[in-house]
């Protein structure tokens, strides 16, 4: 460390400080005669003290800085990263990796710690630092994690050791990853050399496994649903196994599989029936083979949420029209909806069984059945398509939010222009760009007047004139949502979409988002629980809750409790934590299975409850591939100018790192500047000098 005093002014300014002190003391004490009895030494001493104090004060006026230069040596950081996933111990060397191998890794850490700063981490589905003061933390390695994500490890290392002297990265793994990006590409930001310890077994053993389950998360009660099972068999030529699907004690499907080669791969289709509502668990299982390496990957669970029924949409019409087929086909692309198209005069059911009613050219010039008035006056959401047969005078008597004062039986042919800031739902950029290219429709000619509560989605463009007459708008009267499409002929939009794109996706998007907005019911309950229907085995079980008072304002004063019950009847009580104006719960990690919950709270004197269910799916990703990928580890080492070794060569690895010339300490010379006037000892020194002079003068009879 070196210390130096510097100023912003030239050094020769210090001469004026000394001169000021000398002149001041000379003028004060040159003709002083009051202290002659005490001898000349007293005057000289007081003059010296005055000279020093005045010179120092003058020097401080130059704003001098104290410059300190330090010398710091930063050791290279050696990162040892141990794969803590289950695939490490699925082979024949599992006992070695649980015992003797840890001792070798600890010795490697000790051998390197004399010259380097050693940091030890474990990775799998999460990254954890194991290094503690005086401890390696390797006792926490238990090979229990359900996923392997090397790319997130590299990202975290890049963040933690940015601008640090990262000497080398040692990765001990079997080279298998099942989450994140390819490690060879995602490691590019780290510039340190990589050394890899190749763990696991590269031999291909006899193994039968379920590679993947392909299924929808949703099915409807009473319907049959499709699923697929991807089966693989290794080194099982000439053998056979039984594939079965069970639910509880009942076997729903079984099929014998004969393996005709050592690399068997097949996709087995399933067709199952949803017989019970709620969250259903189906177990897919392969019978084991003699001498099979691992049985964990022979079983997977499939969770299906069986809905009690679809949303029902009713299309009532005055007469057959191609628009009706276009609407029906578009809505039915969403499996959540069931569409029924009926002429209004033939409809003989009750409307309260439907979630949305679409009136095509109703009210009509040809007369209107009773059901049309019921559709307008009920609380069921409504969509009206106006056209050449619409009775506009009758239409204007209903509270739709739009009044069309027509001029006889004349019609315009407008094209659509989208509102730039439509707030009710979001349209894709592709649809927004394509809307002006839709063919012209046929709409009533006249004056259009939309209420203040209306929200237009589309406007009419007639020729080259963009009008403010709405073509499609939305309104809400009380709890009833209404949409008015003031034109007919949207079947042309569907055909044009297919001609330009080879699909009806954009037209379907417009219709489905409209139907979804209209048919969704607003939840006005005072107590809500937000909980996903499925969690992974290694995922934290997190829920949110909202409580409303009688004025439907968010509150969080009352306590919210939750009780989770597993399939065996065991119950787990929890209490939600309060947030700014709601509630949040982190219940931790639950084992695979099906669970129900009951949540309670009390608002005023009313007890509110919410029930629900969820599932926790087991993760078998680590058991899907049990053959170690040492080629990936070799590529990582070569890309980063390192080497690959085997678990028995860890001593050799320490020697290789110690001999590297490019892993060296880094010397820093940081500088620190401090205002000299800020140093407290300067103040006390000046105070001491001035006090000494005052004492001497006072002691000898002066002031």
Q: What averages of pLDDT result for each successive group of 10 residues across the chain (703 residues)?
A: 75 82 78 63 79 83 79 86 90 86 91 91 90 71 90 91 90 90 86 92 86 84 86 90 92 93 92 86 91 84 80 93 96 88 92 93 87 92 93 92 86 94 91 95 93 95 92 92 96 96 95 91 82 86 92 89 93 94 93 92 92 86 82 93 92 90 80 79 83 77 59
User: What pLDDT sits at residue 35?
Assistant: 60
Q: How many CB atoms lie within 10 A of CB 609?
A: 10
CB 669 within 8 A of CB 69: yes
Tokens of 445: 């000619």
User: What pLDDT sits at residue 521?
Assistant: 74
What span, in angstroms and rounded, lies between the C-alpha atoms of 531 and 534?
Answer: 9
Tokens of 589: 């990690």
Write out the DSSP string of 9-46. Answer: S-TTHHHHHHHHHHHHHHHHHTT--TTGGG-HHHHHHH
Q: How many CB atoms lie within 10 A of CB 338?
A: 16
Q: Which tens digit of pLDDT belongs to each residue from 509-524? A: 999 999 989 987 766 7
Q: How many CB atoms lie within 10 A of CB 231?
A: 22
Q: Which tens digit of pLDDT belongs to each residue from 402-424? A: 999 987 788 999 999 999 999 99
Q: Which tens digit of pLDDT belongs to each residue from 331-377? A: 999 877 889 999 999 998 889 889 999 999 999 988 778 899 999 99
What span, in angstroms and rounded, lies between the C-alpha atoms of 28 and 579?
Answer: 73
What span, in angstroms and rounded, lies between the C-alpha atoms of 590 and 27?
Answer: 90
Instruction: Provide the 3-class DSSP secondary structure of residue 189.
Output: coil
What span, in angstroms and rounded, lies between the C-alpha atoms of 559 and 576?
Answer: 7
What span, in angstroms and rounded, lies between the C-alpha atoms of 226 and 236?
Answer: 28
What does the DSSP 8-state code read for residue 62?
T
Which pairing describes strands 311-317 and 2-6: parallel, antiparallel, or unpaired? unpaired
What span, in angstroms and rounded, lies between the C-alpha atoms of 662 and 656?
Answer: 12
Tokens of 152: 């997130």
Instruction: Provide the 3-class DSSP secondary structure of residue 130.
Output: coil
Domains parsed from the chain with CATH numbers? 2-70+673-699 (no CATH), 74-203+627-658 (3.40.50.410), 207-307 (2.60.40.10), 311-519 (3.40.50.880), 527-617 (2.60.40.1930)
CB 170 within 8 A of CB 195: yes
Which pairing describes strands 577-578 and 465-477: parallel, antiparallel, or unpaired? unpaired
Angle CA(608)–CA(612)–CA(613) in degrees, nearest 5?
160
CB 584 within 8 A of CB 577: yes
User: What pLDDT sits at residue 702?
Assistant: 60
Instruction: Provide the 3-class DSSP secondary structure of residue 271.
Output: strand
Contacts of 14 (CB under 8 A, 6+ apart): 59, 62
What span, in angstroms and rounded, lies between the C-alpha atoms of 637 and 196?
Answer: 6
């Amino acid at each position: 460390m070196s210390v130096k005093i510097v100023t912003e002014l030239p050094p020769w300014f210090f001469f004026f400080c000394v001169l000021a002190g000398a002149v001041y003391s000379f003028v004060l004490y040159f003709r002083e005669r009051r202290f002659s009895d005490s001898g000349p030494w007293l005057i000289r001493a007081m003059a010296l003290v005055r000279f020093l104090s005045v010179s120092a004060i003058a020097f401080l006026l130059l704003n001098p800085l104290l410059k300190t230069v330090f010398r710091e040596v930063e050791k290279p950081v050696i990162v040892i990263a141990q794969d803590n996933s289950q695939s490490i111990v699925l082979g024949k060397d599992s006992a070695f990796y649980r015992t003797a191998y840890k001792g070798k890794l600890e010795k490697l850490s000790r051998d390197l710690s004399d010259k380097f700063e050693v940091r030890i981490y474990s990775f799998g589905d999460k990254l954890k630092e194991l290094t503690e003061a005086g401890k390696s933390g390797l006792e926490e390695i238990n090979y229990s994690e359900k996923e392997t994500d090397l790319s997130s490890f590299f990202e975290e290392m890049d963040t933690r050791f940015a601008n640090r002297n990262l000497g080398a990265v040692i990765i001990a793994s079997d080279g298998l990853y099942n989450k994140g990006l390819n490690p060879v590409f995602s490691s590019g930001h780290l510039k340190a050399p990589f050394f890899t310890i190749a763990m696991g077994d590269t031999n291909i053993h006899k193994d039968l496994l379920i590679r993947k389950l392909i299924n929808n998360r949703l099915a409807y009660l009473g319907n049959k649903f499709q699923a697929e099972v991807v089966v693989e068999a290794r080194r099982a030529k000439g053998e056979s196994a039984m594939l079965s699907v069970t639910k509880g004690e009942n076997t729903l499907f079984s099929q014998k599989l004969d393996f005709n080669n050592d690399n068997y791969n097949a996709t087995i289709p399933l067709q199952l029936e949803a017989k019970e509502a709620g969250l259903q668990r189906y177990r897919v299982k392969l019978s084991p083979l003699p001498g099979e390496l691992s049985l964990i990957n022979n079983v997977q669970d499939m969770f299906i949420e069986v809905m009690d029924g679809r949303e029902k949409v009713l299309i009532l019409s005055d007469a057959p029209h191609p628009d009706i087929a276009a609407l029906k086909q578009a809505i039915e692309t969403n499996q959540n909806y069931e569409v029924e198209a009926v002429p209004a005069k033939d409809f003989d059911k009750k409307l309260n069984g439907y979630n949305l009613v679409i009136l095509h050219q109703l009210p009509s010039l040809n007369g209107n059945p009773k059901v049309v008035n019921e559709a307008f006056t009920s609380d069921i959401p409504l969509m009206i398509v106006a056209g050449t047969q619409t009775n506009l005078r009758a239409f204007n008597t209903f509270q739709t939010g739009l009044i069309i004062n027509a001029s006889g039986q004349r019609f315009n042919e407008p094209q659509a222009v989208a509102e730039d800031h439509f707030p009710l739902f979001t349209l894709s950029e592709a649809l927004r760009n394509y809307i002006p290219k839709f063919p012209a429709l046929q709409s009533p000619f006249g004056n259009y007047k939309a209420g203040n509560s209306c929200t237009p989605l589309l406007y009419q463009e007639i020729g080259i004139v963009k009008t403010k007459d709405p073509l499609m708008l939305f309104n809400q009267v009380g709890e009833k949502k209404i949409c008015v499409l003031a034109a007919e002929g949207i079947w042309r939009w569907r055909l044009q979409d297919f001609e330009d794109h080879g699909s009806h996706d954009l037209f379907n998007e417009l219709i489905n988002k409209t139907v979804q907005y209209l048919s969704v019911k607003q939840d006005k309950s005072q107590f809500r629980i937000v909980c996903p229907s499925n969690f992974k085995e290694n995922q934290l079980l997190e829920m949110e809750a909202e409580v409303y008072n009688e004025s439907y304002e968010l509150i969080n004063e009352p306590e919210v409790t939750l009780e989770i019950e597993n399939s065996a009847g065991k119950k787990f009580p929890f209490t939600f934590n309060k947030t700014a104006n709601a509630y949040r719960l982190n219940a931790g990690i639950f084992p695979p299975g099906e669970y129900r919950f009951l949540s309670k709270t009390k608002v005023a004197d009313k007890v509110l409850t919410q029930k629900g269910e969820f599932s926790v799916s087991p993760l078998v990703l680590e058991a899907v591939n049990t053959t170690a990928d040492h080629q990936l580890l070799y590529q990582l080492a070569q890309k980063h100018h390192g080497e690959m070794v085997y678990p028995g060569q860890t001593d050799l690895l320490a020697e290789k790192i110690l001999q590297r010339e490019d892993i060296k300490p880094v010397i820093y010379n940081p500088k620190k500047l401090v205002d000299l006037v800020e140093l407290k000892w300067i103040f006390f020194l000046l105070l001491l000098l001035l006090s000494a002079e005052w004492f001497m003068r006072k002691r000898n009879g002066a002031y």
